[in-house]
Amino acid sequence: MVGSPVHRVSAEDAWSRSMHPDIESERHSQSFNVEELTNILDGGAQNTALRRKVESIIHSEPELSLKNNYFMTQNERYEAAIKKKFHILMLAQRLGWSEGSRELQYASRTVSGDLGFAIHHIFQKTIQTLGSEEQIAKWDPLCSKFQILGTYAQTEMGHGTYLQGLETEATYDAATQEFVVHSPTMTAIKWWPGDLGRSATHALVQAQLICSGARHGMHAFIVPIRSLDDHSPLPGITTGDIGPKMDFDHTDNGFLKLDHVRIPRENMLNRFAQVLPDGTYVKLGVPKSNYLSMVAVRVDMLLGEVLPLLQKACTIAVRYAVVRRQSRLRPSDPEAKVLDYQTQQQKLFPPLAMAYAFHFVANNLLEFFRHSYSSILDGDFALLPELHALSAGLKAMLSDFCTQAVEQCRRACGGHGYSKLSGLPSLLTRVTASCTYEGENTVLYLQTARFLIKSYLNTQKSPGSASKGSLPQSVTYLTAPEVARCPARTAADFLHPKLYTTAWAHVAVRLIKDSVHHLQTLRQAGADEHDAWNQTTVIHVQAAKAHLYYVTVKIFTEALEKLESQPAIQQVLKRLCDLYALHGILTNSGDFLHDGFLSGAQTDMARKAYLDLLPLIRKDAILLTDAFDFTDQCLNSALGCYDGHAYERLFQWAQKSPTNTEGNPAYEKYIRPLLQGRRARL
Amino acid sequence: MNQDLQKERAGASFIPELLTNVLDGSPENTRRRREIENLILKDPDFQHENLNFLSRSQRYEVAVKKSATMVEKMRKFGIADPDEIMWFKKLHMVNFVEPVGLNYSMFIPTLLNQGTTAQQEKWLHSSKGLEIIGTYAQTEMGHGTHLRGLETTATYDPETQEFILNSPTVTSIKWWPGGLGKTSNHAIVLAQLITQGKCYGLHAFIVPIRELGTHKPLPGITVGDIGPKFGYDEMDNGYLKMDNYRIPRENMLMKHVKPDGTYVKPLSNKLTYGTMVFIRSFLVGESARCLSKACTIAIRYSAVRHQSEIKPGEPEPQILDYQTQQYKLFPLLATAYAFQFVGAYMKETYHRINEDIGHGDLSELPELHALTAGLKAFTSWTANAGIEACRMACGGHGYSHCSGLPNIYVNFTPTCTFEGENTVMMLQTARFLMKSYDQVHSGKLVCGMVSYLNDLPSQRIQPQQVAVWPTAVDINSPDSLTEAYKLRAARLVEIAAKNLQTEVIRRKSKEVAWNLASIDLVRASEAHCHYVAVKLFTEKVLQIPEKSIQAVLRRLCLLYSLYGISQNAGDFLQGSIMTESQITQVNERIKELLTAIRPDAVALVDAFDFQDVTLGSVLGRYDGNVYENMFEWAKKSPLNKTEVHESYKHLKSLHSKL
């Protein structure tokens, strides 16, 4: 038995010094080295060491504890997040953690991103990319020293994804050399920006530029909104918090209504466009980098926000499932661990497989982003369309799947999964927001679909000239030789990565062709281009989803190939990869049976292969979640601690709830009169 | 009134009121329901602050207050019919959570079922008059669905003629009972009875937990609230730990225990099925109502919200005009209607069978019991996902509590785990399906919803020709689609039965085999329930006399059936129930139906007839004035009470220190 690593133990309670026997037995025989798998996930043993060092520093600071989060009001959460941010900034200063460093990333992971001023950094970054040298010189130091606090105000109450629809106006007044920034309607009120409700002193406002009588589209303006002396809203500014939400209590999402607010001409960010003193509009280029920063946010959020939420949910649900005993498998046995039920495995292992699959996918995307980023900086934009399509699609797919999987983990914990103390409700309310922020998912799937259709049409244009090399790498399979029938003859054949990758490629290609076909049929029938598009969007989304599934399966299988030197780990991950691919095939079996690619008999084989994987993964399930290496403090779950003492903790935590420590005013006011009033009358 | 909604309502092909009557069962029911609604909505005692702006403790307080008021008002208004009680309660609290609710729903009924006449005399009067407030403590921290696993003990001490109650382990602490944490002063506790050194299994005991007059926990009792949850903020779900806590012998409910201590089984276990059937049929109705509410909000908002462009240069269209939005929402709308009718059917059946029971006929109970288990799971799973899909279809604003959707979701989702965890429920239905399959196999015909098992080719002496059963599906005929669902259910039941058999032979143990076939078994149950839902919807449509209503419901029924086929195409293809080209036609037909339903969408949700107060949503307001009210709502948030928030002190210290 490998002793419990010190970094995992919750220092504060007595139970963590002993292991619950039901979880201890799961760790007895190790079919692979958990530490090595952790190193793979961290991207090297050095990173693991650094992360743990940061974690131990963070956990030794009581100000950074997450312990009371479940008991706090929205107000308290906000205040605590500001305090924590403040504390981490001081730590960073003391320890020399620079902005954007690994240490700060790990610190943020350790406190589950429960920090204020997230948007302040976006404010600063946007000035860096859209501002002129003078503007950067003026504003950047103010941001770094927190002498001003910024927010990024784009979304309006009535307008989201579609930027051209924004209504806020910035009208140039040549007489005073000022812009007049104004919200002309109710729907134009800026709505949702983080850090706006109570924190920000300045907002980067996206508004329609109007000068010399013409409209010039969206531009960014720096608008002071709160007094630097007493923080009160400046004249013409109506601002506040948008009220309670499903989660993100620590963030003060806000509203901003501008009533003819005047700002100097210099406050328009003017790297790519300028308004001259006389009101002449000058365009200086296309801000592709602006576009790129949106892509960067989508890539970052997958690793920084979305994926850890799923990994935590899996850790909690799988650990609880070996501690929880329920009913009997045989009449003479003691009650069985719920993880031994096939239906429980069916609920938890596909999410676990996704948690690993998406780790490799998100890292692969990050690499691709870095690679394309450097060529874009060199002025080569060739990779941009693919990068955009891939990041949009994967953001949509991963946020969708992670949300469903987290909810599945939550429900797999039965009643206790409904308690906030399990940690699971908060994981869900947090991850589900990612389906609509940074681009609504359906809109994003359709962007991927557009890219696929375009790529496919390119392969059709001139068969000779469209050499394989010119096709973006993620869609080269569009020209691969057709395999009309799946060659599988036994269930075991479905455990060949090549076989299931080909199966996914086949379905993706068929659906993309179908998409194109539907579109062309409508066009030929006389439908206008845009109507035709709208009337075929359901199939486009379906095609994009199949393509993305194919991409994720392919990335996972390729990642496995690189693990040859660690056969034990490779084997256990391959089972997850097989499960991931087959789970997708079986839940979409209609698509595979549709053109006879899979026969009915083959579908049964795939199902058998899938079911046979469950007991194999069962043996390693706890170790696979241990490898994510979350500290107990970071998981913040009464059910999911490393030592397995779920019930003791649940009882202890519940007793600390304010409902138990702060008396019961309802008794004096209502219950007592109810009881006594009745008695008097009876 | 918002212009978009006005236009939508003017363009509808039917009068929503007529459809409302269909949903309520009759115009008379609609009238009575509204009468009760108005009693509450016009009563100043039931007005309250927006719950979203209150802390958990404040929400609990509001609920206690209203719980108390409600008891008096129901008496005053003479509301006694179970359905009417439901309407009444659901309305006066948007979330229908009442801390003293378990006194009426569990404490008193258990007393009636299991208490002797003497016990009823002693307790019934005071609990009905709320002289004492009772709750029902069954679930323990470590034990839920599997009742025999409960650990709490009640050991008889003949010397003092008392029972000594103990919670011997952490896992034995009673956990979750509603109203236990702060409100109740008595609990019916389920515990293992031990006397003369022998354990006699679970029995029910009346346990005083708080002192009358001070409300303080009695010595030996540790009681409290289990802390914050996903939803149900208003409810004080509680824990209860007992240490050598003594109660008199008379506090054990003893209707079924003879004076000499021998235990008499109640007349028929089947009778208790009746209550379960009632609760589950209520939960199916609850699935329908919650999904209907979510659809109402999402569809009205989609008609008000304008976004992007379909054609360049044209004004931004209503998002309800996007095919993807229709594809998200209309199948859910159709599902909501399907479940409304499933719920109504179950309620009727319950009443009918209740009459049969009155005449001593219990023959239909087992099937109904098995069916309701599965339907509770099937509808609650579907509604759970559907509500969340509606929320996401509202984009960012769906995430704000002003949409009302997060509340609907968090308060609905426990339906998947309480009153029987859904997977366990599905497996109960599967047990009945397997029994029926075996019965047919051994030559006996089965009747009721499972009668299709009589027609399985493998069950016939003369194998049916393959050509007779597939491909004849007419995708425009609800009847024909019902047949297709029937074939799918039959096939999946047979597969599950055969796989179970194979495992039994291989594993030698029935229980182990059952576990290893359970994924297939759940699939079979789901297919069976889906068939039942399609069948009931189809039959309902045929009974509607009014042509315009029938036409619009027929479209929804077709959409419900076809969408299910499209989503489960693999089952229909693999079973050769439909061909590839038929599946293609199904997908095309779904898109046509989306277009056909589009003009009636708003009227279809209007017909659910939810008042704005019940919806609790800014996005779903009947008048469609969403944005103005969203702004007003936000301004009322307690966080905006002062212009400069008190936490400004942290911000101020920030730049001075860095």
| pLDDT for A468 beyond 50 | no
> Nearest-CA residue of chain A relative to B315?
A165
Task: Using a CB–CB cutoff of 8 Å, tell me whether A78 touches chain B.
Answer: yes
Kindly indicate the confidence band of residue B464, based on its pLDDT and cuts at 50, 70 and 90. very low
- Give the whole-angstrom CA distance, residue B97 versus residue B65: 12
Flag if A243 and B518 touch (Cβ within 8 Å).
no
> Nearest-CA residue of chain A relative to B574?
A600
| pLDDT for B516 beyond 60 | yes
Could you give the C-alpha distances from A541 to A120, A361, A453, B581, in angstroms and in order? 34, 20, 12, 21
Orientation angle between helical segments B580-597 and B323-358, nearest 10 degrees:
90
- Stretch A53-75: mean pLDDT, rounded? 93
Flag if B395 and A595 touch (Cβ within 8 Å).
no
| pLDDT for A466 beyond 80 | no
B6 to chain A, closest Cα gap in Å: 19
Range from A291-305, A457-471, B568-582 carrying the lowest mean pLDDT: A457-471
Chain A CB contacts of B516 under 8 Å are 342
Contact between A264 and A135 under an 8 Å Cβ cutoff? The reply is no
What does the angle CA B127 – CA B129 – CA B134 come to, to the nearest 5 degrees?
Answer: 25
Closest CA to A387 of A379, A396, A376: A376
pLDDT tens track for A215-226: 999 999 999 999
| pLDDT for B147 beyond 80 | no
Kindly indicate the confidence band of residue B101, based on its pLDDT and cuts at 50, 70 and 90. confident
Helix (H) or strand (E) holding A162, with range, is: none
Flag if A147 and B400 touch (Cβ within 8 Å).
no
Closest CA to B274 of B167, B355, B170, B393: B355
- Stretch B341-349: mean pLDDT, rounded? 90
DSSP B259: T
**The pLDDT of residue B248:** 96
**The pLDDT of residue B259:** 63
Chain A CB contacts of B227 under 8 Å are 70-71, 419-421, 653-654, 656-657, 659-660
Kindly indicate the confidence band of residue A675, based on its pLDDT and cuts at 50, 70 and 90. confident
Range from A33-42, A652-661, B310-319 carrying the lowest mean pLDDT: B310-319
Nearest by CB to A78, which of B181, B516, B647? B647
pLDDT tens track for A227-269: 999 999 999 999 999 999 999 999 999 999 999 999 999 999 9
**The pLDDT of residue B322:** 96
A326 to chain B, closest Cα gap in Å: 6
Flag if B181 and A659 touch (Cβ within 8 Å).
yes
- Give the whole-angstrom CA distance, residue B403 versus residue A194: 19
> Nearest-CA residue of chain A relative to B327?
A538
- Give the whole-angstrom CA distance, residue B297 versus residue B603: 13
| pLDDT for A108 beyond 50 | yes
Closest CA to A429 of A244, A168, A576: A244
> Nearest-CA residue of chain B relative to A193?
B396
Closest CA to B329 of B561, B626, B585, B605: B605
**The pLDDT of residue B561:** 98
**The pLDDT of residue A677:** 62
Higher pLDDT, A454 or A675: A454
Chain A CB contacts of B636 under 8 Å are 243
A39 to chain B, closest Cα gap in Å: 35
B26 to chain A, closest Cα gap in Å: 38
What pairs with residue A214 in β-bridges? Answer: A211
Kindly indicate the confidence band of residue A681, based on its pLDDT and cuts at 50, 70 and 90. very low
Flag if A418 and B574 touch (Cβ within 8 Å).
no
Residues 486-525 of B with CB under 8 A from A: 509, 511-512, 515-519, 522
- Give the whole-angstrom CA distance, residue B370 versus residue B385: 23
- Stretch A351-373: mean pLDDT, rounded? 96
Of A143-152, A277-286, B374-383, B408-417, highest mean pLDDT: B374-383
- Give the whole-angstrom CA distance, residue A571 versus residue A442: 36
Contact between A550 and A455 under an 8 Å Cβ cutoff? The reply is no
| pLDDT for B463 beyond 50 | no
| pLDDT for B144 beyond 90 | no
Flag if B146 and A326 touch (Cβ within 8 Å).
yes
Please count the residue pairs, one from chain A and one from chain B, whose beta carbons lie less than 8 angstroms apart: 348
A662: annotated active-site residue: no
Chain A CB contacts of B132 under 8 Å are 675
Contact between B332 and B390 under an 8 Å Cβ cutoff? The reply is yes
pLDDT tens track for B323-339: 999 999 999 999 999 99
Residues 663-682 of A with CB under 8 A from B: 664-667, 669-675, 678-679, 682
| pLDDT for A1 beyond 70 | no
Task: Using a CB–CB cutoff of 8 Å, tell me whether B305 touches chain A.
Answer: yes
How much of chain A, in percent, has pLDDT values that exceed 70? 95
Flag if A662 and B57 touch (Cβ within 8 Å).
yes
> Nearest-CA residue of chain B relative to A190?
B631
Kindly indicate the confidence band of residue A563, based on its pLDDT and cuts at 50, 70 and 90. very high
**Mean pLDDT, all residues of chain B:** 89
Task: Using a CB–CB cutoff of 8 Å, tell me whether B331 touches chain A.
Answer: no
Residues 230-259 of B with CB under 8 A from A: 230-231, 236, 239
| pLDDT for B87 beyond 70 | no
pLDDT tens track for B350-387: 888 778 777 777 777 778 888 899 999 999 999 999 99
* Residue of B491, B562, B573, B579 for testing the chain A interface, max A β-carbons within 10 Å: B573
pLDDT tens track for A479-522: 998 889 999 999 999 999 999 999 999 999 999 999 999 999 99
The complex's ipTM works out to 0.93
pLDDT tens track for B46-67: 776 778 888 888 888 888 888 7
| pLDDT for A38 beyond 90 | yes
Q: What contacts B616, CB < 8 A, 6 or more positions away?
A: B51, B94, B404, B407
> Nearest-CA residue of chain A relative to B61?
A666
| pLDDT for B395 beyond 90 | yes
Contact between B99 and B57 under an 8 Å Cβ cutoff? The reply is no
Nearest by CB to A82, which of B423, B647, B655? B647
User: Hunting for tokens 């045929």 — which residue is that?
Assistant: B542
Burial A24-50 (b: 16+ CB within 10 A, else e): bebbeeeebebebbbbbbbeeeeebeb
Catalytic residue (one of A438, A440, A529, A558)? A438
Nearest by CB to B324, which of A442, A586, A670? A442
How much of chain A, in percent, has pLDDT values that exceed 90? 80
B329 to chain A, closest Cα gap in Å: 13
Chain A CB contacts of B145 under 8 Å are 326-327
Task: Using a CB–CB cutoff of 8 Å, tell me whether B144 touches chain A.
Answer: yes
Closest CA to B311 of B302, B301, B322: B322
Kindly indicate the confidence band of residue B278, based on its pLDDT and cuts at 50, 70 and 90. confident
In A438-511, beta strands by DSSP E = none
**The pLDDT of residue B61:** 87
Nearest by CB to A330, which of B406, B509, B569? B509
Residues 193-232 of B with CB under 8 A from A: 212, 215, 224-231
| B575-578: long-range contacts, CB 8 A cutoff, minimum separation 24 | B575/A600, B575/B470, B575/B487, B575/B488, B575/B491, B576/A600, B576/B466, B576/B470, B576/B471, B577/B469, B577/B470, B577/B473, B577/B484, B577/B487, B577/B488, B577/B491, B578/B470, B578/B471, B578/B473, B578/B484
**The pLDDT of residue B425:** 94
Nearest by CB to B650, which of A82, A157, A671? A82
**Region for A227 from its dihedrals, namely left if φ exceeds 0, alpha if ψ lies in -120 to 50, beta otherwise:** beta
Task: Using a CB–CB cutoff of 8 Å, tell me whether B92 touches chain A.
Answer: no
| pLDDT for B624 beyond 50 | yes
Kindly indicate the confidence band of residue B642, based on its pLDDT and cuts at 50, 70 and 90. confident
**Mean pLDDT, all residues of chain A:** 92
DSSP A505: H
Catalytic residue (one of B61, B367, B419, B539)? B419
Kindly indicate the confidence band of residue B86, based on its pLDDT and cuts at 50, 70 and 90. low
Task: Using a CB–CB cutoff of 8 Å, tell me whether B571 touches chain A.
Answer: yes
Orientation angle between helical segments A118-130 and A288-301, nearest 10 degrees:
150
* Residue of B631, B633, B642 for testing the chain A interface, max A β-carbons within 10 Å: B631
Flag if B133 and A671 touch (Cβ within 8 Å).
yes
